[in-house]
């Protein structure tokens, strides 16, 4: 990031509890709005409104700027080894606490579609946690991770480094359904 650009951004700061809580809530809200608008843009495109789709995409991007500023101000951005630790802890929470509990709720309340959505996420988070943990080891040793392709199933979010499976092991989608980075 160049210096002139960085100078105009709000700076990482020590925040009082209420200020921090409000920025945290705003970060969550802006992040959600950004994703929602991207989905709405796809919908607008499918309905033949490309310019509405463009507006949704642009405003989604604006919301990401807001989310980033909030995250930066509450000191949420660290050096990469620490970012990998934070990412790993987030995935762990989802695996160990959040999604197993949500899975039970979906079961108790008899909603198999919610159960499926939760199961897709839970499976992927397990891989994510491992990928972040491995990467952190490498970064702590002062190296970047290997240059391999990383692919994601468009249906369920299954994430794989290197060669693609013939079909997704989580949702059984064909390999054409993966997006590669």
DSSP SS3 for 179: strand
What are the counts of helices (DSSP H) followed by strands (DSSP E) for the chain?
A: 6, 3
* Residue 168 engages Fe ion in binding (rule: CB under 5 A): yes
SS3 175: helix
Nearer to Fe ion, 38 or 171 (CB): 171
Kindly state whether residue 62 participates in binding Fe ion, applying the rule CB under 5 A: no
Nearest CB to Fe ion, comparing residues 56 and 132: 132
Give the DSSP H/E element, type plus range, for residue 144. none
Contact between 57 and Fe ion by CB under 5 A: the answer reads no
User: Residue 23: which of 7, 12, 34, 38 has the closest Cα?
Assistant: 12
Quick one: which of 57, 119, 136, 158 contacts Fe ion (CB under 5 A)?
158
Tell whether residue 95 is a contact of Fe ion (CB under 5 A). no
- Considering beta carbons, is residue 22 or 92 the nearer one to Fe ion? 92
**173 contributes a contact to Fe ion by CB under 5 A:** yes
The tokens describing 86, both together, are 């934070």
Residue whose CB is less far from Fe ion, 57 or 158: 158
**Under rule CB under 5 A, residue 170 binds Fe ion:** yes
Q: Is 160 in the site for Fe ion (CB under 5 A)?
A: no
CA distance 61 to 127: 28
Distances (CA, A) of 146 to 19, 27, 164, 165, 179: 40, 32, 17, 19, 19
Listing DSSP states for 12-34 in one string gives P----HHHHHHHHHHHHHHHHHH
- Exactly one of 128, 131, 132, 160 binds Fe ion (CB under 5 A); that residue is 128
Nearer CB in complex with Fe ion: 71/170:
170
Return residues touching Fe ion (CB under 5 A). Answer: 125, 128, 153, 155-156, 158, 168, 170-171, 173
């Amino acid at each position: 990031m160049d210096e002139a650009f960085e100078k105009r951004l709000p700076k990482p700061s020590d925040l009082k509890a209420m200020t921090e809580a409000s920025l945290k809530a705003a970060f969550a809200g802006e992040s959600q709005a950004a994703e929602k608008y991207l989905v709405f843009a796809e919908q607008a495109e499918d309905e033949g409104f490309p310019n509405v789709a463009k507006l949704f995409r642009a405003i989604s991007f604006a919301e990401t700027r807001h989310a980033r500023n909030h995250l930066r101000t509450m000191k949420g951005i660290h050096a990469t080894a620490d970012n990998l630790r934070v990412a790993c802890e987030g995935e762990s929470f989802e695996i160990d606490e959040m999604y197993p509990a949500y899975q039970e709720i979906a079961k108790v309340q008899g909603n198999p579609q919610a159960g499926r959505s939760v199961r897709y996420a839970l499976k992927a988070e397990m891989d994510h946690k491992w990928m972040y943990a491995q990467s952190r080891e490498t970064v702590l040793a002062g190296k970047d991770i290997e240059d391999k392709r990383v692919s994601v199933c468009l249906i369920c979010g299954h994430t794989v480094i290197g060669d693609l499976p013939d079909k997704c092991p989580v949702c059984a989608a064909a390999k054409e359904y993966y997006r590669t980075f």
